[in-house]
A and B are shown apart, each in its own frame.
Chain A
């Protein structure tokens, strides 16, 4: 009964979304009643879809296998957490999650957008309504999660064992929050094009939504990478897999969007470009959904796909992107170009950033789609894999990373490159020194690695240099400098921290790529091997029982250089319902480095194949992304950027202005 109510709630929300879209688009100029209706419609959809989603979750939790979806993807002995995550570990459920997050964002616009200009808000929610209706329709007509089985089977068939991991609880929801969050930017862009009103205030509304989505997408991608790293059992952390690419592309364009929205907000420039990026970012999210969900690619990440749904998704994709760019083509020329700036300026640097990020996205897009298109048009089968992407992406990132520290240092409108270079000399010197020392310690055998290390440290130090310069370290008393440092605005801090994170990630990537080592060997219990200064002793091999799987359990004692011994467990599991095996690698963390132990098959005499990696500084890759995401949160806590605030804050700010303004005159004019 609950399931049927959930189904009904979804259909009701679908109808409301259509009404919201139609009324909103026709009557957005007219009176307050329509605006109020559209607002409450958005909130009601969220309530209805939440109920709908919870009804499915409930069926999974109580193992109601009369629900076809639960029968296919759950199992009564599965731990509770995986019963819940199994809801979105499949096609139908993940579309429902997508819809839930979409209406969550619409409701957030309705609630937090109280102070938005009424017409803009109504238009934004109308466009959200179109998107909502499209995906609810997709769910209802092609991917119904509420289908029943009669008679109900006694037992389910288990969730794919690879997905029975905490990663599934975190990764898809984060990714979807990012993907779908960009729908708000998309709707704002369409609303601006329809109404013809686009100004700095518009950018001020859009930027927080961009940052929120970007933060989630950053975390989602990082989490996905870490999950693949520890779960897939061969120690890789990025594969340039088409599925990864389809969540990496929105991230790259979203990063460009975030930067160009800053230019637009502060300098009223790059309007048309910002609108274009807003449309592009969500379009790539949709493309990602299409690629993953249509079954056009079948890769390690695609846990559900059905080609018959592909056409519907493709139509959905084509219509929404086509319509968006048609409106863009018609309306964009009428937008007035904004403020002018010299090539050497903060704006100029951000344009360069956008050029490189957009090109990188295009390169990945071409590389991802090319084999599909070539196959379809000419029947020729080629592969485009990691070596291609490493090369094309790497070539683009080098200049971007070289220029990055300059960007944040340059002043708006017109800047003095020589002065900025002088201020960055210290950071460059320090980075160079580190690169040279590493080069001398390790020898020249690793090509380009010292250059990569230099770039990473250059970006990390260069972004900190801005903070140090602004707080005048060495020029005034230390205490005074510290006071200045912590008095710097949140936007300056978040810029520095995010860029610092980029540097940290680069350092991690370069070091682990260049200096990782491995030992592939066969071992018997009692034997030891050495790797990178660690001594690894095989101590235990036995069979055990998990909740819904059997375990081949292996233990190793790892002795580090300092003589300390730690134990690591590596497992192979065979899941009962599907009799599918998985590997649970044993991972020991030493500082930022990790030792990764995976066990393979045993031969006839019981000798075990063991593969051990030493991954130096690999954690820096993900720590860097945490800095980026943290910086995003920090910039959101900036009062100015918060979504619903301006009205109440104005009065306070006016008062504060009097006291504060004098002290801040040097800010931003560097």
Chain B
């Protein structure tokens, strides 16, 4: 029966996805050097657990995430800089592993969308104000507006 298959698929996906019982960084993984460990934690928060949905490896309990955490720590002990560690992981697992996407031709829209929208909106408003000034309409309250405003505010109370 179809729904049964579906449901099985479901629970399978779910059991992969849901953060369960065990967790995240295990005591055995923690480095003795607190500075290195701190760096490892920071790096881990920017790396995606590849078999999970939207979880970083620091929070994930998937075995693959644990492998990655250990890998990051090994590279740090070997003396890599943060950038070298990230480059190493990306070289092995691809860009998908980065939760903070790099800036490149394929992500240019992603990174510039927000500033462009904000700037565009700001410029639009600026010219709107300027145009209104030019039309020279008085922007102090007209008699009718004063009356209307007073009426509204009375009801406010």
Contact = CB atoms under 8 A, between A and B. Distances in A.
A520 B100 contact: no
Given A298-B53, A598-B23, A611-B23, A370 B154 contact: no
Nearest to B95: A382
A17 to B, nearest CB: 28
A72 B5 CA distance: 11
A557 interface: no
B21 A572 contact: yes
Contact of A600 (B21, B54, B107): B21
Given A232-B19, A601-B22, A657 B154 contact: yes
A68 B117 CA distance: 48
Given A359-B117, A657-B154, A300 B53 contact: yes
A4 interface: no
A339 interface: yes
Interface stretch (A123-131, A135-143, A211-219, A361-369): A361-369
B68 interface: no
Contact of B139 (A160, A340, A362): A340
A537 B2 CA distance: 50
Interface string A152-186: 00000100101000000000000000000000000
A581 B22 CA distance: 10
B77 interface: no
Nearest to B25: A520
A414 interface: yes
Interface residues of A, number: 82
Contact of B94 (A266, A356, A381, A388): A381
Contact of A382 (B23, B24, B107, B157): B107
Interface string B82-107: 00000000000011111111000011
A326 interface: no
A362 B18 contact: no
Interface in B1-33: 3, 6-7, 10-11, 13-15, 17-27, 30
Nearest to A244: B54
A540 interface: no
Given A306-B6, A385-B48, A600-B21, A241 B54 contact: yes
A28 B157 CA distance: 36
Contacts of A412: 149
Contacts of A413: 139-141, 145, 149
B137 to A, nearest CB: 6
Contact of B99 (A242, A298, A383, A609): A383
Contacts of A374: 106-107
Contacts of A239: 54-55
B26 to A, nearest CB: 6
A388 B99 contact: yes
B45 interface: yes
Given A366-B113, A640-B155, A355 B18 contact: no
A440 B20 CA distance: 40
A355 B23 contact: no
18 contacts: A72-B3, A234-B24, A267-B149, A300-B53, A339-B145, A358-B117, A359-B117, A359-B121, A370-B110, A382-B95, A385-B100, A386-B45, A520-B26, A580-B11, A580-B15, A600-B26, A660-B154, A661-B154
Interface of A: 68, 72, 157, 160, 162, 232-234, 236, 239-242, 265-267, 297-300, 303-304, 306, 339-343, 351, 355-356, 358-359, 362-363, 366-367, 370, 374, 378, 380-388, 391-392, 395-396, 412-414, 487, 489, 491-492, 520-522, 572, 578, 580-583, 598, 600-601, 609, 611, 640, 653, 657, 660-661, 664, 667-668
Given A396-B118, A600-B22, 20 more contacts: A160-B11, A234-B19, A234-B59, A266-B152, A303-B14, A358-B121, A363-B113, A370-B107, A370-B110, A382-B98, A385-B56, A392-B114, A521-B27, A601-B21, A657-B154, A661-B154, A664-B153, A664-B154, A664-B157, A668-B149
Sort A-B residue pairs by CB-CB distance and give the 8 closest, nearest first: A385-B99, A387-B100, A363-B114, A299-B53, A381-B96, A366-B113, A489-B157, A668-B153
